[in-house]
Amino acid sequence: MAVFEYRGILVATGKPVKGVRDAENQKVLRGVLRKDGILLTVATEGKAAEAKGKKDIKLFAFMGRPSTSDIAVLTRQLATLIGAGIPLFESLNALIEQVEKEQVKRALTEVREQVREGISFAKALEMHPTIFPPLYINMVRAGEASGTLQQVLERLTKFMESQAKLKGKVTSAMAYPILMMIIGLTLISVLMIAVVPNVTTIFASMDAALPWYTALLITVSDFAAGYWWLVLIVIGVSVYFFRRWKVTPNGKLKWDGFVLKVPVLGKLILMLSIARFARTLATLLSSGVALLTAMDIVRNVLGNAVLEKVIVDAISSIREGQSIAEPLKRSGRFPPIVTHMIAVGEKSGQLEAMLESVSDAYDTEVETRVQILTSLLEPMMIVIMGGAVGFIAVAILMPLIQMSSFAG
């Protein structure tokens, strides 16, 4: 049975519709859609649909893949259906009918067809890495192998919801300071390029020496007004070469090492990475994923090359028979309390529980630090912007006041 992408018109309303359906051929598809009140206009099958799908995936990668929350909702629904005793194939059918995003609908349709052909669910998911990450696929594979797919899907849902919740809190907390910074820079740029030159032209006819801060303001304003395009070019070129350097192995390692040393921010990033490490590893191990496989997956979700190197070294040490805690402690990157709790968890057989405790503690600490940081950033931004605007005002007004006093 083939998979078709179709476009049609609702007979009742004349509204255009599109979707994905499976049918033996276009004639059967036309009949099925007619029963649903849809007049088929275009149907794409096989390689043409696959080529279009690849094009859409590229566009989708630019626009952004489905959010973690979207996949979490889908996973919870799938777990509920399977828990109710509905076969996987029928559960996927139900999901496809209610999924709204076309990319996800297409992916699930292809997964369903592969499952129909006898391919495992995890193997079918591997064909869609932009939607289902390695962590998701490996947990599903472990759930299929152990016969606990429903429980694994529920753990996946909780994991993704907790990650989305933490990311949402950090993003919302940083949104206001970033907005204030953008507004402030825009305001100061407009003042320096458009307003200040018009006001300071009256100083050109003055014989009196201008205060140093007024002379500095005029110099900066003249440069900004005359060479703003050069500034933009320099910034653009600098960003381009910086990004190219940062994606190289050596550049990424040096940059990520520098980021971890930045006061306040470096500590926050380290705590976020440790929380992600602990939560991900605990979720994978509790789902039956082998330790070395789990560590390799965790390495790919840390987002910091320095910490990734620590995990790579830890994997080598574990292969040689060492515990997880020993190489992490030896690296000096993980706080002693974390390595101690991991060591206790390994000895007591409660590693997953200890990792969950570490993750909960660090998630809470991250939230607290972000709140403190944003509460300090807001007044700092106001003071900095106010100081910049005040400097411009003083540099313009003081010579005018002096001129008035002399005239008087």
Per-position pLDDT tens, the chain of length 408: 566 777 777 777 777 777 777 777 777 778 877 887 887 777 776 544 444 444 444 444 444 467 888 888 889 999 999 988 888 888 888 888 888 788 888 888 888 888 888 888 989 998 888 888 888 888 888 888 778 888 888 888 888 888 788 777 777 777 777 888 888 888 888 877 777 777 777 776 666 677 788 888 888 888 877 888 898 899 999 999 999 998 898 999 999 999 999 888 888 889 888 988 888 888 888 888 888 888 888 887 787 889 999 999 999 999 988 888 999 999 888 999 999 999 999 998 899 999 989 988 988 888 888 888 878 877 888 888 888 888 888 888 887 777 666 555
Name the pTM for this structure: 0.66
DSSP 132: S
CA torsion 118-122-123-128 (nearest 10°) is 120
Q: What is the pLDDT of residue 206?
A: 64
> What is the C-alpha to C-alpha distance for residues 22 and 1, in angstroms, rounded to an integer?
7
CA torsion 135-141-143-149 (nearest 10°) is 90
Would you call 24 exposed, middle or buried from its count of C-beta atoms within 10 A (0-12, 13-18, 19+)?
exposed
**290 three-state secondary structure:** coil
Range of the domain at 4: 1-45
- Does some domain include residue 146? no
DSSP 248: S
Residue where the block lists tokens 């043409």: 48
- Does some domain include residue 176? yes
Residues 213 and 348 grouped into a single domain: yes
Q: What is the pLDDT of residue 216?
A: 84
Q: Compute the residue count for the chain.
A: 408
- Does some domain include residue 162? no
> What is the C-alpha to C-alpha distance for residues 5 and 42, in angstroms, rounded to an integer?
8
> What is the C-alpha to C-alpha distance for residues 6 and 38, in angstroms, rounded to an integer?
10
| CA distances for 184 relative to 226, 235, 301, 372, angstroms | 21, 18, 35, 22
DSSP 36: T
Give me the helices (H) in 332-407, please: 336-348, 351-407
Asked which of 45, 60, 78 is the last residue of a domain, the reply is 45
Cα atoms in the Cβ-side hemisphere of radius 13 Å centred on 10: 8
Please give the angle made by the CA atoms of 154, 157 and 159, to the nearest 5 degrees: 110
> What is the C-alpha to C-alpha distance for residues 183 and 176, in angstroms, rounded to an integer?
11
Q: What is the pLDDT of residue 134?
A: 83
Q: Which of 328, 302, 306 is nearest to 316 (CA)?
A: 328
| CA distances for 297 relative to 72, 262, 274, 283, angstroms | 19, 27, 14, 11
- Does some domain include residue 378? yes
> What is the C-alpha to C-alpha distance for residues 344 and 296, in angstroms, rounded to an integer?
22
- Does some domain include residue 201? yes
Give how many domains the chain has, as a whole number: 2
* Residues whose CB falls within 8 Å of the CB of residue 305, separated by 6 or more in sequence, listed in order: 249, 252, 253, 255, 256, 257
Residues 40 and 175 grouped into a single domain: no
**293 three-state secondary structure:** helix
- Does some domain include residue 404? yes
- Does some domain include residue 13? yes
DSSP 195: I
Residues 368 and 234 grouped into a single domain: yes
Q: Could you tell me if 178 and 302 are in contact, meaning their C-beta atoms sit under 8 angstroms apart?
A: no
Residue where the block lists tokens 């607290």: 368
What are the CB-based long-range contacts (under 8 Å, 24+) for 70-77?
Answer: 70/101, 70/104, 71/131, 71/132, 71/136, 71/160, 72/156, 72/157, 72/160, 72/161, 72/164, 74/99, 74/104, 75/153, 75/156, 75/157, 75/160, 76/153, 76/154, 76/157
- What's the order of all strands across the beta sheet hosting 2-10? 16-23, 2-10, 38-45
- Does some domain include residue 344? yes
